[in-house]
Chain A
Amino acid sequence: MQQGGNRQTEKLLLQRSVPGRVGVVLPGLDVPAQPMPANSLLRNELALPELSEPEVVQYFTGLSLKNFSIDTHFYPLGSCTMKYNPKINDEIAFQAGFAGIHPLQPVEQSQGALELLYKLQGFLGEITGLPAVSLATLAGAHGELGGMLMIRAQHLANGETGRLKVAIPDSAHGTNPASAAMAGFEVVELASDNDGNVDLGALRSVAGPDLAGVMITLPSTLGLFDTNILEVCRIVHEAGGLVYGDGANMNALLGRVKLGDLGFDVCHLNLHKTFSTPHGGGGPGAGPVCCTEQLAPYLAAPMVTQNGDSYDLFTPEKSIGKLSGFHGNFGVLVRAYTYIRTLGDAGIKSISGNAVLSANYMMNALRGVYHLPYDRTCMHEAVFSADFQKERGSSGLEIAKRLLDYGFHAPTMYFPLIVHEALMIEPTESETKETIDAFIQALIDIDREVTEDTELVNNAPHTTPVARLDEAKAARQPDLRWQPEAAD
């Protein structure tokens, strides 16, 4: 990969700083100078860099070239849905009429924004079969917190103060138990059965009067559609609990099935996965919450309603309250709306079809080369184990790092936790068959390298801006900011 052209990036901003340089010229003061506050209220030093504009542009451009990204590399990071992020979505969101409006301006001056949000609520309700939608939550985990607070609020409103347990499969994302705990619940882990489905016996054993609900990811993080799902929902409902859906893997199900039809009561969506909004190196995301009419009064504020020809914000009757400063990650919501309008009914279903086809095609080509702990039709991603390779001396980590040398981003490693040496691979619908074939060949070549040159694999990567990093040192002696006295 390129490494920053000849613009060096080793020195940090404050090390580059030269007294007297400026990066921005601002207008002069055009009003009479006013009396300054007491000196004791003013700071003396301000340790920020002094750099000219070209230096800033060159430094950050150089840094950007040290990243893998969807635009530069195939990025089959399982459970993250690293699909193409359309450029038109950014262009629409950056228009002054969207990016340049203030969240507190009167609703008469933001009718276009409210119309977009109102229609997006409707689209997401239609896609999930859960018709009531709040867009106010800012990421997937934030949506989980909102959804679990709603479940808690409904039980309390019904006088069910003893429903304190939430059951979560052992394959779940770490955010699920963390969100349930933040919402005040005790977490009970549910085993998976030999087919990768929720173990119904385990579920029945916790489905009692203290069960608040379950959190289910569908398809599961094993990339599998849980064939017991109707039974799971029935058992939970009969015990008086509610079913929460983690929508992280919704790319597999778009237009194929609606969570509401299956019996889910509330779910979140990850617009930064399924609906193509860029991850930005770790955010922003958006995690809208969709629910049944029964749970609708509890949704997070604000929501958008239509009154005749105009739109307005409102707080649901029994709302859990506000979870963010304003109305949600509007710029992300604009991008998702643009994506849904571009693809439309036919295109939305084409996403899931092509994503699932590509994943199965890849899984089939690698069957036998890499161990498949759950060998059945997968959904949008396939979870392999590097057990075969580990016997010959290379772990999943080493294979993942070696893939970087082939110019592919690594799969998700060591997750889900119930698969030994897990390699979770999600190709998405936006990659060509040629790319997927090249990736398959790379994994076959690496398998051969494990036998022929284990050291080559185990010392990878060899071509990235840095080699394998000392994570133990980073944690033992945390160096989290640059200080002039520190040794460089």
Chain B
Amino acid sequence: MTATRPNTSGTNEEHFQSHYIPSTMDEQAAMLAALGIDSIDQLFTDIPDEFRNPILNLPAPLSELEIQQGLGQMAGKNRPLSSGPSFLGAGSYHHFIPSIVKALITRGEFLTAYTPYQAEASQGTLQVIYEFQTLICNLYGMEVANAGMYDGATSLAEATLMACRVTKREKVVLADTISPAYIDVIRTYCQSQDIAVEVVDPSNPALDNETACLVLQYPNYYGYIEDQKKLVDAAHAQGALAVVSCDPTAMGMLQTPGHYGADIVTGDGQPLGIPTSYGGPYVGLFAAKQEFIRQMPSRLSGRTLDKNGKTGYVLTLQTREQHIRRERATSNICTNEALYALAATIYLAALGKQGMRQVAELCYHKAHYAAAQIGQLPGYSLPINGPFFQEFVVQCPASPTEINKKLMDRNILGGLDVSEKVPNGMLLCVTEMNSKEDIDALVAALSEIK
């Protein structure tokens, strides 16, 4: 790449004509002349001399062709889920994504717009957020949903802070069956606010009248369906809120957290049309009962009328937010994951009532077929009883990490090693992406690995 040439405007700067920056040397010269100066560097003299124009040790520019080749090679060092049977879930799920999702979210009008602060110039984004809020409420059986959070983990952490604000209590109780990563993030969020975090066995959670909330995952991190009604009621009996992190795919068939009386429901929207993408970007889902609306974090789009009586949408109840309320805001969140809230909305619109049910049932039947086969293998067992959705724990005859290496020799990506929870436990996930052939290949491979 040699797109540099000497700058004739008398500075020590080389002119670099990037394809992303239109101004030519002549145009720069004309703008500088209008300012009565002759070099760009003269605009930077407020910077202390001794630190201005430091050495910048970065690689030289690359052409787009070189970028395609170089980054294509780098991507080639990774094993995508689509390159062979894959049974890894644990908070990030391999689901079918209709091609219209990418086609629509990459439209420049959506992709390259900012946060919809100028409502008249952002009706597309604002109406999408209103649709998203509607569909997330319906999915979870809740009354209000916001425009989205960063991811499932931060969404749940913000829900615990909100429960403390609502109840004016400073202790949160987490079921030990929620994601260990979510527990870590909740601890990080709570550490500086003097909020106590307790982790308990959900079969008998110790709650008291200082508990702000009981936090559950549904289905839980290990795939199983706990007694939602009993746990929600136990929280309410102590005046605590019930906070539930819920997999949206499971909502294609399972009863909603709202039905059981949950006060705040969060989730990761990744299964709704968003690629696993090594962990992000995803979108955090966040819904609550109407009465808590003024304690909710993040943006809300509301329907209203313009001055001619025409329906339109605006960001609303903004006095909760940091740009108005500053240090007294409900959260510091500003930029969220709007593009992926759009992806989730398109996915839900396309899958719709029938498609969501079909996906959930495909996952359910395939996961149960796989579990039944594996549970019959000598040396393997299913140590956890109870109903599950698309994930389940298998107790293996050897270290799951070692078994996974042998599976990868056959180009099968196994499940997550959860030995810290279940001795030699492997958390397997089966979705609609896994064919019977894939599952049979996994079962056959496990039967050979002992």
Residue of A nearest to B259 (CB): A43
Which of these binds chain B: A236-244, A381-389, A444-452, A476-484? A476-484
Contacts A34-B364, A149-B192, A261-B54; is A23 near B349 (CB within 8 Å)? Answer: yes
Please encode chain B, from 4 to 21, with 1 for each CB lying within 8 Å of some chain A CB and 0 for all others.
Answer: 100000000111101011
A31 touches B439 (CB 8 A): yes
B355 closest partner in A (C-beta): A24
Beyond contacts A70-B112, A323-B189: 20 other A-B pairs, Cβ-Cβ < 8 A, are A23-B355, A34-B364, A37-B225, A56-B350, A67-B121, A101-B80, A102-B276, A104-B88, A184-B192, A227-B46, A229-B48, A281-B124, A282-B114, A334-B71, A347-B18, A350-B21, A357-B23, A433-B30, A466-B306, A482-B131
Q: Which residues on the A side are within 8 Å of B4 (C-beta)?
A: 346
Cβ of B426 within 8 Å of any chain A Cβ, yes or no, is no
At the interface, yes or no: A29 with Cβ under 8 Å from chain B? Answer: yes
A480 with B300: CB separation less than 8 A: yes
Interface locus among B165-173, B201-209, B329-337, B376-384: B329-337
- Identify 15 residue pairs between A and B in the complex whose beta-carbon atoms are under 8 Å apart, listed by A's number: A26-B359, A43-B141, A49-B352, A90-B106, A95-B75, A103-B92, A103-B279, A174-B323, A281-B115, A284-B150, A284-B337, A345-B57, A347-B21, A464-B123, A469-B307
Chain B, range 136-194, C-beta contacts under 8 Å to A: 137-139, 141, 144-145, 147-148, 150-154, 179, 181-182, 184-185, 187-189, 191-194
Interface membership of B111, Cβ < 8 A:
yes
List of B residues within 8 angstroms of A30 by Cβ = 435-436
Within 8 A of A (CB), among B27-45: 27-28, 30-32, 34-35, 40, 43-45
Taken together as a complex, chains A and B put the C-alpha atoms of A255 and B52 apart, in Å, by 9
Residue in contact with A102 in the complex, picked from B98, B113, B278, CB distance below 8 Å:
B278
The residue of chain A having its C-beta at the shortest distance from the C-beta of B143 within the complex is A481
Nearest Cβ on chain B to A394's Cβ, whole angstroms = 17
- Asked whether B393 is an interface residue with its Cβ less than 8 Å from the other chain, the reply is no
B18 touches A46 (CB 8 A): no
Q: Is the CB of A466 within 8 A of B310?
A: yes
Contact flag A479-B302 (CB < 8 Å), given A174-B324, A257-B51: yes
In Å, the complex CA distance between A14 and B353 comes to: 11
The verdict on A200 contacting chain B, using a C-beta distance below 8 Å, is no
Interface pair B130/A101, CB less than 8 Å apart: no
Chain B residues in 8 Å Cβ range of A183: 192
Q: Is the CB of B278 within 8 A of A470?
A: no
Task: Tell which of A56, A102, A284 has the most Cβ of chain B within 10 Å.
Answer: A102
Q: How many angstroms between the C-alpha atoms of A92 and B266 in the bound complex? A: 31
Residues 365-386 (chain A) with a chain B CB within 8 angstroms: 365, 377
Q: Does B301 contact A (CB under 8 A)?
A: yes
A71 near B182 with CB under 8 A, answer no
B109 adjacent to A102 (CB under 8 Å): no
Q: Looking at the complex, which of A201-209, A272-280, A288-296 is the stretch in contact with chain B? A: A272-280
Structural contact, A324 and B151, CB atoms closer than 8 A: yes
Residue of A nearest to B74 (CB): A112
Name B31's contact: one of A261, A358, A470 (CB within 8 Å). A358
Q: A63-B124, A68-B121 are in contact. Are A123 and B58 (CB under 8 A)?
A: yes
Q: A97-B78, A340-B58, A474-B302 are in contact. Are A103 and B278 (CB under 8 A)?
A: yes
The verdict on A390 contacting chain B, using a C-beta distance below 8 Å, is: no
A10 contacts the other chain (Cβ, under 8 Å)? yes
Which residues of A have CB within 8 Å of B47? 225, 253, 256-257
A400 located at the interface, meaning its Cβ lies under 8 Å from any Cβ of chain B in the complex: yes
Cβ of A441 under 8 Å from chain B? no
**Chain A contacts of B30 at CB under 8 A?**
433
| Selected contact of B304 from candidates A34, A181, A334, A471, CB within 8 Å | A471
Number of interface residues of B (CB under 8 A): 205
Q: In whole angstroms, what is the CA distance A385 to B54 when docked?
A: 34
In Å, the complex CA distance between A88 and B351 comes to 29
A357 touches B255 (CB 8 A): no
Taking the complex as formed, is A443 at the interface, i.e. its CB lies under 8 A from any CB of chain B?
Answer: no
Is A157 located at the chain interface by the 8 A CB criterion?
no
Known: A50-B354, A110-B78, A354-B28. A68 touches B369 (CB 8 A): no
Known contacts A140-B335, A282-B115, A325-B181; A69/B110 CB under 8 A: yes
Known contacts A71-B112, A284-B281, A357-B28: A138-B16 contact under CB 8 Å: no
Alpha-carbon gap, A470 to B128, bound state (A): 19
Q: Which residues of A contact B323 (CB under 8 A)?
A: 173-175, 415
Q: Which of A271-326 contact B (CB under 8 A)?
A: 272, 276, 278-285, 300, 320-326
Q: How many residues on A have C-beta within 8 angstroms of the other chain's C-beta atoms? A: 197
Report the minimum CB–CB distance from A58 to chain B (whole Å): 10
User: Is B79 an interface residue, CB under 8 A from the partner?
Assistant: yes
Q: Kindly list chain A residues whose C-beta atoms are within 8 Å of the C-beta of B118.
A: 68, 400-401, 404, 409-410
| Residue of B127, B275, B306 touching A99 (CB-CB under 8 A) | B275
**A442 sits at the interface (CB 8 A):** no
A282 in contact with B336 (CB, 8 Å): yes
User: Is there a chain A Cβ closer than 8 Å to B303's Cβ?
Assistant: yes
A71's partner among B46, B108, B361 (CB-CB below 8 A) is B108
CA distance A29 to B78 in the complex (A): 30
Q: Is there contact, CB below 8 Å, between B188 and A23?
A: no
Of all chain A residues, the one with the shortest Cβ separation from B115 is: A282
Smallest CB gap from B370: residue in A = A31
Q: In the complex the two chains form, is A345's CB within 8 Å of B310's CB?
A: no
Closest to A254 in B: B56
Residue interface bits A450-467, CB-to-B below 8 A is 1, else 0: 000000000001001111
The verdict on B358 contacting chain A, using a C-beta distance below 8 Å, is yes
A61 interface hit (Cβ, 8 Å): yes
Give which listed residue, A53, A230, A401, contacts B100 with CB less than 8 A.
A53
B357 within 8 A of A: yes
Contacts A103-B278, A283-B335; is A64 near B67 (CB within 8 Å)?
no
- Residue of chain B at shortest CB distance from A252: B44
Q: How far is the CA of A253 from the CA of B426 in the complex (A)?
A: 49
Per-residue CB contact flags for chain B residues 307-320 toward chain A (1 = under 8 Å, else 0) read 11011111011110
A432, CB-defined interface residue at 8 Å:
yes
B335's partner among A23, A56, A63, A285 (CB-CB below 8 A) is A285
Which chain A residue has the least Cβ–Cβ distance from B99? A53
- CB nearest neighbor in B for A64: B109
- Asked if residues A67 and B96 are in contact (CB atoms below 8 Å), the reply is no
B449 at the binding interface (Cβ < 8 Å): no
- CB <8 Å contact, A111 and B77: yes
> CB of A353 within 8 A of chain B?
yes
Q: Are A481 and B64 in touch, CB under 8 angstroms?
A: no
Task: Give the CA-CA distance A358 to B325 in the complex, in Å.
Answer: 33
The answer to whether A343 touches B280, judged by C-beta atoms less than 8 angstroms apart, is no
Q: Provided the pairs A361-B34, A473-B304, A480-B301 are in contact, do residues A178 and B278 lie with their beta carbons within 8 angstroms?
A: no
Say whether B328 faces chain A, with CB atoms less than 8 Å apart: yes
B268 sits at the interface (CB 8 A): yes
Q: Please, which residues of chain B bring their CB within 8 A of the CB of A88?
A: 64, 67-68
Contacting residues, chain B, for A22 (C-beta < 8 A): 352, 354-355
With A330-B278, A401-B120, A481-B130 known to touch, is A139 a contact of B306 (CB < 8 Å)?
A: no
**Complex Cα–Cα for A13 and B350 (A):** 10
Chain B residues within 8 Å of A350, by CB: 15-16, 18, 21
Q: Are A465 and B138 in contact (CB under 8 A)?
A: no
A280 near B280 (CB under 8 angstroms)?
A: no
B120 touches A26 (CB 8 A): no
